[in-house]
Amino acid sequence: MTTLRIGWPQRWTRKQRSQASIVMDSLILVAALWVAARVIAFAPEPIGSNAQFFADGTLMTVQLTVVSGVLGLVLGLLAALGKISRILPLRWLCSFYIWIIRGTPLLVQIFFVYFALPVIAKGTWLEETMRVTEFSAAVIALSLNVGAYNAESFRAGLLAVPKGQFEAARSLGLGRWHTLVDITFPQAFKVALPPLVSNVVALLKDTSLAYNISVLELVNVGQRVQSRTFDPVPILITTALLYLIMTTLLTQITNGIERYYDIEGRIP
């Protein structure tokens, strides 16, 4: 059950209830991160004594998701616009980016950013720039990956806008930029929103692959505790539950955003 359906005054409009739901679910997520260590501390061993460790790993997972998610949205929109552009080299470049990223495993992309890019940049003016940390390497790889999938979602939304909308905008004297911002994008975003939501939720789970380059996120924390205690069952259950809580809250937030843009009231 979403917070949209409970507790809000009936006199509120659908948009007001959606806004309240987004704010409430966001606050619940922040509160959950803040009290995580205190709550987990009541769990039996070996979880209780490592509560702060698990809380720090959870926070790192959320940070990876938020930063990579925002960058991925920007990259996805730019790549989508580039892929439908009339400029042929730009269209080829964006198509090549999407093809490469969607056709290779995310783990390989993370390894490439962390291990290969510094080697490629060695001896060039990019050498100083390419000295990436584990966190920044994970963010770059995750952003590029989710950006490619977001690009196809945005492109589908842009192509779904009827051609008559462009013609009507031109007949009213609107320029290409105003047509995109005021006419095309709002309609395209509504179409692209459901797959974008799925991409963000998948991104949260994909952050677990950052464990392979020693980012101290939730899976890495679980593995380190397990290597000390040799007790995998409670550790794996705790890790899975924390992911389940995060994905549930993130889904509630994104559902609120979907309902906010559902002006026609199609979503029950």
Provide the angle, in degrees to the nearest 10, between the axes of the packed helices 88-103 and 51-83. 150
Where does the pLDDT of residue 1 fall: very low under 50, low under 70, confident under 90, or very high at 90 and above? very low
pLDDT 10s digits, 119-155: 887 777 666 666 778 999 999 999 999 999 999 999 9
Q: Is the dihedral of CA 95, 98, 104, 107 positive or negative?
A: positive
Encoded tokens for 148:
């490619």
pLDDT at 105: 96
Tell me which residue of 255, 256, 231, 249 sits closest to 58, measured CA to CA: 249
- Are 142 and 206 within 8 A, CB to CB? yes
Structural fold of domain 12-260: MetI-like fold (1.10.3720)
- CA atoms of 49 and 46, how far apart (whole Å): 6
pLDDT 10s digits, 209-256: 999 999 999 999 999 999 998 889 999 999 999 999 889 888 888 777
pLDDT 10s digits, 175-210: 777 777 777 888 888 888 889 989 999 999 999 999
Mean pLDDT to the nearest integer, 79-83: 94
Q: Which residue has the higher pLDDT, 184 or 3?
A: 184
The domain ranges of the chain are: 12-260
Mean pLDDT to the nearest integer, 154-180: 80
Please determine, for residue 28, whether its predicted confidence score (pLDDT) is greater than 90.
Answer: no
Whole-prediction pTM value?
0.86
pLDDT at 113: 93
Pinpoint the alpha helices (H) of 84-214: 88-103, 106-111, 117-121, 134-160, 163-171, 176-178, 185-206
Tell me which residue of 72, 78, 254 sits closest to 158, measured CA to CA: 78
Where does the pLDDT of residue 173 fall: very low under 50, low under 70, confident under 90, or very high at 90 and above? confident
pLDDT 10s digits, 83-133: 998 899 999 999 999 999 999 999 999 999 999 988 887 777 666 666 778
Mean pLDDT to the nearest integer, 20-33: 73
Tell me which residue of 134, 114, 118 sits closest to 126, measured CA to CA: 118
Cis amide prior to 46 (ω within 30 degrees) = yes
pLDDT at 205: 94
Q: Which of 1-10, 134-143, 160-169, 215-224 has the lowest mean pLDDT?
A: 1-10
Q: Which of 28-32, 37-41, 211-215 has the lowest mean pLDDT?
A: 28-32
- CA atoms of 96 and 118, how far apart (whole Å): 22
Q: Which residue has the higher pLDDT, 81 or 33?
A: 81
